[in-house]
Amino acid sequence: MDKTTQPASIAILASHESAASVVFGLYDMFMSAGRDWRLITEGHTGTGVIRPVIASAHTESFIAANEVRITPQISLADCTSPDVVCIPELLVPPEQSLGGRFDYEIAWLQGCYAGGAVIAAAGSGAMLLAETGLLDGFEATTHWEYGSAMRQRHPEVKLRTGRALVVTGETQRLIMAGGGASWMDLGLFLIARVAGVQTAMQVARRNLIDWHEIGQQPFARLARSRQVDDGRIAQCQTWIAGHYQEPSPVMSMVRLSGMAERSFKRHFLQKTGMSPLEYVHALRLEEAKQRLESGNESIEAIARQVGYEDAGFFSRLFRRNVHLTPAQYRRRFAGLRKSLESGQPQYLN
Q: Return per-residue pLDDT of the chain as tens, 349 residues.
A: 444 468 999 999 999 999 999 999 999 999 999 898 877 777 778 889 999 999 999 999 999 988 899 999 999 999 999 999 999 999 998 888 888 889 999 999 999 999 999 999 999 999 999 999 999 999 999 988 888 899 999 999 999 877 778 889 888 899 998 876 778 888 988 998 888 888 888 888 777 665 333 333 444 444 445 566 678 888 898 888 888 899 999 999 999 999 999 999 999 988 887 899 999 998 899 889 888 887 889 999 999 999 999 999 999 999 988 888 999 888 877 766 666 666 655 433 3
CA-based torsion, 291, 292, 295, 298: positive or negative: positive
Residues 115, 81 contacting (CB under 8 angstroms):
yes
The answer for residues whose C-beta is within 8 angstroms of residue 8's C-beta and 6 or more apart is 1, 49, 50, 51, 83, 84, 194, 195
DSSP assignment, residue 303?
H
Reference 164, options 122, 129, 132, 203; nearest CA is 122
231-243 helix and 249-257 helix, angle to the nearest 10 degrees? 150
- pLDDT of res. 299: 95
Round to whole Å and give the CA distance between 94 and 186: 22
Q: Which domains does the chain have, with CATH numbers?
A: 8-209 (3.40.50.880), 217-337 (1.10.10.60)
pLDDT of residue 209: 65
| Residue 241, SS3 per DSSP | helix
Three-class secondary structure of residue 121 per DSSP: strand
Question: How many other β-carbons are positioned within 10 Å of the β-carbon of residue 101?
Answer: 16
- Mention every residue, 6+ apart, whose C-beta is less than 8 A from residue 92: 17, 98, 124, 127
pTM of the model: 0.67
